[in-house]
Amino acid sequence: MSDSSVLKKQNSLLKIWPTTHATAGATATPSGPSHLEDDRLEPSSIPAQIEFRSVTKTYGQATAVNDLSLSVRRGEFLTILGPSGSGKTTALMLLAGFVAPTKGDILIAGKSVAAVPAYRRDQGIVFQSYALFPHLTVRRNLEFPLEMRGIGAAERAKRVDSILERVHLREFDSRMPSQLSGGQQQRVALARALIADPPILLLDEPLGALDRNLREQMQGEIKSLHREFGKTTICVTHDQEEALTLSDRIVVMRAGKIEQTDTPETLYDRPMTRFVANFLGEANILEDLGFEVESDAAQPSGTVGMIRPERVCIAATGEPKRADADRRQFAIGTVDDMIYAGPLRKYNVRVGDSLLVVRQHVASGQQIFRLGDEVKLDWLRSDVRFVAT
């Protein structure tokens, strides 16, 4: 989607929700704003900001989330990434209020929500299975959150029409959820989470059930929705690509603990632990090579060298030295395996007792190495990172 069309969409949406948070109160049912409960988090008055303070959740012996501390800025798109069972969903459910922390506290907009039940937290949630109400049509599904806020029928119809337009599902409004495809259901779920304009949006593996193409398409959709609505968004996924493309910041979780929190770029370029380096992209751990790894920086204790496959150059052993040879480290190895992957060629090269992965962009006139060939690898010393083991 081009920028101008985004802008146009944004304008049209702005017309429907001029100052949305204010209208929510103004258009409420006859009972008026007093109908709203006292402990409701007033979205307009305080910037949405989420803070986990040493939150722990245990189930019997098992610890699902362990001493988690995290704060999310207003309007930020934060992704929680981690392997299966690392506590991602639990963290999200803690925030949503469906699970109570064993220890610690969660603050939304500066206020503890320990005593606020889920149905007063005002968050839009997209569940992994979408959780569309199977007994209600698409339209009635979308109206549900508006009804719960006491918004009148006319206003509901208007908002539903506009959001259906936005997610390209105009003709589907009288269908039952079971009559929609996976991608359509997903869009209804997103629309339903957004329609009441909650300040916080929680997505639990929103694209997990979709095939690759559709997933990429929906990633674009989510990104543009985030740009338009500017909601504080927390998204859980175990798809690293999704995390890298969507997020302002990524939290990598492992066994209930935060391993590292950073922007996608920092996380990829400067992983702090071996786990993060391996989990996000591919990593060559420089150990058992048969020689010492050199680097510009001093190696802290308890760490090991790491270099990304695309930073390693591969050449024939006889090739002349390069101009910047003094800033590089060399290694001689034998080709163990070669995988051709379209624009890329992936070599596994045995150096000492370990296998290094090299990724080479296919270009014309390139020398292609065969299994068993002796090759020379080299990399810039400044590209070596030290990660905690």
Ligand X SMILES: Nc1ncnc2c1ncn2[C@@H]1O[C@H](COP(=O)(O)OP(=O)(O)OP(=O)(O)O)[C@@H](O)[C@H]1O
* Binding flag, residue 32, other proteins (CB under 8 A): no
* Binding flag, residue 192, other proteins (CB under 8 A): yes
Query: In what side-by-side order are the strands of the sheet with 249-254?
Result: 123-126, 200-204, 232-237, 77-81, 249-254, 257-262
Q: Which of residues 227-256 bind ligand X (CB under 6 A)?
A: 238
- Shortest Å distance, C-beta 297 to other proteins: 47
Kindly state the tokens that stand for 11.
């304008």
* Binding flag, residue 44, other proteins (CB under 8 A): no
Residue with Cβ nearer ligand X (235 or 357): 235
- For 267-277, letters b (16+ CB in 10 Å) and e give bbeebbbbbbb
As a 3-state breakdown, the chain gives helix, strand, coil percent values, each rounded to 5, of 35, 30, 35
What, of other proteins, Mg ion, ligand X, none, does residue 29 touch, CB below 5 to 8 Å by kind?
A: none
* Binding flag, residue 237, Mg ion (CB under 5 A): no
**Binding flags for ligand X, 59-78, as an x/- string (CB under 6 A):** x--x-x--------------
- Shortest Å distance, C-beta 55 to ligand X: 12
Phi, psi of 237, rounded to the nearest 5 degrees: -155, 160
Residue with tokens 């979709």: 210
Q: Within a 10 A sphere around the Cβ of 37, how many other Cβ atoms?
A: 10
- Shortest Å distance, C-beta 177 to other proteins: 8
In the chain, the amino acid numbered 169 is L
Phi, psi of 214, rounded to the nearest 5 degrees: -60, -35
β-pairing verdict for 123-126 and 111-112: unpaired
State the DSSP string of 300-329.
PTTEEEEE-GGG-EEEETTSPPPTTGGGEE
- Among the listed residues 49, 89, 233, 260, the single contact to Mg ion using CB under 5 A: 89
What, of other proteins, ligand X, Mg ion, none, does residue 220 touch, CB below 5 to 8 Å by kind?
A: none
User: HSE of 316 in the Cβ direction (CA atoms, 13 Å)?
Assistant: 8
Cα–Cα dist 94/224, whole Å: 27
Task: Enter the DSSP assignment of 153.
Answer: H
* Binding flag, residue 127, other proteins (CB under 8 A): yes
- Among the listed residues 11, 34, 45, 84, the single contact to ligand X using CB under 6 A: 84
- Among the listed residues 181, 217, 317, 367, the single contact to other proteins using CB under 8 A: 181
What, of other proteins, ligand X, Mg ion, none, does residue 129 touch, CB below 5 to 8 Å by kind?
A: other proteins
Q: Which of residues 80-119 bind other proteins (CB under 8 A)?
A: 96-98, 117-119
The residues that touch Mg ion, with contacts defined as CB under 5 A, are 89
The residues that touch other proteins, with contacts defined as CB under 8 A, are 96-98, 117-125, 127, 129, 131-135, 144-145, 148-149, 176-182, 192-193, 196, 202
The residues that touch ligand X, with contacts defined as CB under 6 A, are 59, 62, 64, 82, 84-90, 238
